[in-house]
Amino acid sequence: MNSVINIANVKKSLGNREILKGISFTVEKGDIFGYLGPNGAGKTTTIRILLGLFRADSGKMDILGQDIGLSQIRRKIGFVLDLDGLYENMTAEQNMIFYSQIYGLSNTGERIHKILRMMNLEDRSGDKVGTYSRGMRQRLALARSLVHDPEVLILDEPTAGVDPSGQIEIRQIMLDIVRKENKTIFLSSHNLDEVQRICNRIALIDRGEIKLYGELENLRRKMGKGAVIIETMHDIPESLMTELKNLSHFGLKEKKERTLVFSPMDGTEISDIISFLASRGVKIEEALKKEASLEEMYEAILKEVEPS
């Protein structure tokens, strides 16, 4: 079984407000799955249903093929929410021991030290959490979420409020958790750069509906619309610019100094444009296909659904 989280046509209302309007997506084993959307889009409600804190009004949601209400499934989930759940007057190690006992575990000393090493906290394991920086607390919260060796981690803004160097460290830890610990991560985040760097699949929710979903790289290629950027070694004469503009299948969009931007029609390859320019004596320094950034995709999708 490759599917870890399955969400099918899930709806949820709170009072008279419809929060989730029939959302559907799947998180596969080994994913770092990015869940994106503006405030109020429905991300937190989705997470609360996944954790069994809310019940969906309708639709189906399961984890590892089983109902999320089952206690044995909850034991296979680790989570980090906006409140880190740490006790400030206890040391990091004491926090880890406390949470291992909540899960009914014993003789976890070796595992606790392994996890704290992974989080680069072993040398501060005897210090009280109240002395920790925000980044250290977030790393300890990640450690806490792993203490019972879950298969799935649900993380809500794990780098929020953390300085840039701390964000880099936490991102690398998340990658290591998936690659070395064989986990799956469901990551809710507002940090588009972070998601673009570490997530392989995403879903974008807005106003309770999934607006974009799939493999991140495939979506970037698709939404980049095949834009071609060509850097030339010399400026292009006006006579050639006129000729290029008349070749509608090349789709010349912009010229800026020695940079030409094309949006070619289907069936026109980058090699066709390069061959034409070379035949006119143009020396090319660089040619590449542009993929849409996650930020561009995010803005484009949300702009489409803005009310008129």
3 state SS of 167: helix
Report pLDDT for 244.
94
| Backbone Cα Rg of the chain | 24
Is the pLDDT at 306 greater than 70? The verdict is no
Is the pLDDT at 308 greater than 50? The verdict is no
pLDDT-based confidence at 307, cuts 50/70/90? very low
Report pLDDT for 225.
62
Report pLDDT for 111.
93
Residue 190: count of CB within 10 angstroms of its CB: 14
Domain ranges of the chain: 3-221, 225-289
Per residue in 114-149, pLDDT tens?
Answer: 999 999 999 999 999 999 999 999 999 999 999 999
Q: Which CATH architecture has domain 3-221?
A: 3-Layer(aba) Sandwich (3.40)
Please state the pTM of the whole predicted model.
Answer: 0.82
Report pLDDT for 124.
96
Fold held by 225-289: Alpha-Beta Plaits (3.30.70)
CA distance linking residue 90 with residue 46, whole number of Å: 32
Calculate the CA dihedral of residues 195, 198, 199, 200 and round it to 10 degrees: 140
Report pLDDT for 226.
62
Per residue in 10-33, pLDDT tens?
Answer: 999 999 999 999 999 999 999 999
Mean pLDDT of the residues in the chain: 92
Q: How many CA atoms lie within 13 A of 227 on its CB side?
A: 13
Per residue in 248-275, pLDDT tens?
Answer: 999 898 898 899 988 888 788 889 999 9
Per residue in 50-93, pLDDT tens?
Answer: 999 999 999 999 999 998 878 888 889 999 998 999 999 999 99
CB contact set of 147 (below 8 Å; sequence gap of 6+): 78, 96, 99, 100, 103, 105, 108, 111, 112, 115
